[in-house]
Structures are given as C-alpha cells and as structure tokens.
Amino acid sequence: MPDFGSSLFDRLQPAVADAFERSDVSALQRRLGKAWYYDLTMLPFSRGKRLVLALNPGVDENAQHVPQIAYPGTQQFGVVAGWRFVQRAAPRLQRFYSPLRDCNYFNLCPFRSKRAGQLTAMDWDLGVQAFFKDAMEAVQPPDVLMIGTSGLTEAARHGLVIGERRIHQARNPRGSGQMEVGVFVGHLAIAGERYPFRSVPYPLFAMDDVDHEAAWKLAFQ
C-alpha cells in the first residue's frame, strides 16, 4: 500500500507534467535545444515535518535531466547533503532550525532553469498552482524556512507572504563600507492556513561567515 509521500507524489506529478508542457520555460527549452524539465521533490514528503523551501530547481550542465516520474527514496538524503550550498547551510540548520533529514525540502516552483529570471510570470503561476499550494496543504509543515531571499518577490506576488523585512548591515567583501542584507520573518498564507515563515540569505551569497551568522540570528530572534 503506498505511503503518504508516494501517494502525494503520484497525485501531483501528472498536474506538474501538464503545467510544464504549457509553460513558457518549456517553450524556451525547445528553442534552445535543451531538456531541463522539472522536479517535484528531491526528498521524501513527510506530513507534519518542517519545510526547507527553495526557489526552483537549477540546471546541471553535466547531467542529463529527465522529468521526475519516480518518487525519491531515503538514499536521496545523502545526495542532497552533498550539494555545496546545503553543506554550507547544514551547521546553521542544525543549530537554528532542524537537520535536513528531519525536514521536507522542495521548491516554490518545480520547473528547472539555469537562472530564476528565465521563468516568466506565467511559469510561476503554473508552478505554484499545479504543485506548491497542493503540496503545502497536504504536508502541513509547522513552519517554513526559505533558503535565499530572491524568492520573496514571487511569493509576495502570489499573496503568499505576510510579515516584515529585517536588515543586517554586513561588511561589503567586494569593497569598502557596508551593505544591507535582508531577512524576512512572517507567515506564508495558503488556503486559509498561516505557516510561520523565515527567509535567510543564500548560503553561497558573497559575504563573510560572521555576517551569515548574524543574518540567521536576526531571522530567529
């Protein structure tokens, strides 16, 4: 008998496949002669566990991407743990949030792209409607941590985020003086539910480790 996660995947996968075929980024890939497709989740779905949220799946030029049609097993924890940005975030996930093994991990939009800017407004609409909202209603995480802050614009455009932006003054590693680094604290609002929500800078964002630490502390204070 299918478990919760595989049943949810089997329900969402056809909707994501259909939305992708209608997307602008799918047409872009055809024009470029590329095949990036989509990923629903790199880790098993777990109802009631925290969510580490990313923006959309990236592209590995050395990989042959295919549409995700198979539900991931627990062996994928080792694969994801080896990603560079996850390695960088892991100690702070452990201290401030939860180890990745104890979390869900999926994207706001399941469509792959080399850059988030390659996704059009229609792509975001299709991805959020076909995947994200239904996944959130099913998984019901107690709270959400977004890795990276660039996704806030799209989340806000869909009316999903409510809260405040907090500013940390970080040293500018590329020059003299300081730069403003933002974190976000509030809620995700989906289908009448409100999920406590935080967003912290991308772990590979160019700033000193002491400033990454200060940004996480600001988000979780």
Express each pLDDT in 30-68 by its tens digit.
Answer: 999 999 999 999 999 999 999 999 999 999 888 889 999
213-221 contact pairs (CB < 8 A, 24+): 213/92, 214/168, 214/170, 215/168, 215/170, 215/181, 215/183, 216/92, 216/96, 216/183, 217/96, 218/166, 218/168, 218/183, 219/96, 219/166, 219/183, 219/184, 219/185, 220/96, 220/97
53: its two tokens: 């949220």
| Higher-confidence position of 153 and 107 | 107
How many separate domains does the chain show? 1
Reported as a single tens digit per residue, the pLDDT across 153-170 is: 888 888 889 999 999 899
pLDDT of residue 175 exceeding 80? no
Contact (Cβ atoms closer than 8 angstroms) between residue 46 and residue 120: no
Full residue range of the structural domain in which residue 88 is found: 4-220
Residue 124: phi and psi, rounded to 5, are -60, -45
Least confident window among 33-37, 49-53, 95-99, 113-117? 113-117
Residue 139: phi and psi, rounded to 5, are -75, -35
Residue 1 pLDDT grade (very low, low, confident, very high; cuts 50, 70, 90): low
The model's pTM: 0.93
CA-CA-CA-CA torsion for 159, 161, 54, 75, nearest 10 degrees? -100
Q: What single-letter DSSP state applies at residue 111?
A: B
Residue 72 pLDDT grade (very low, low, confident, very high; cuts 50, 70, 90): very high
Contact (Cβ atoms closer than 8 angstroms) between residue 40 and residue 110: yes
What's 21's domain CATH number?
Answer: 3.40.470
Residue 112 pLDDT grade (very low, low, confident, very high; cuts 50, 70, 90): very high
Mean pLDDT of the 1-22 span: 94
Q: What is the average pLDDT score of the chain? A: 93
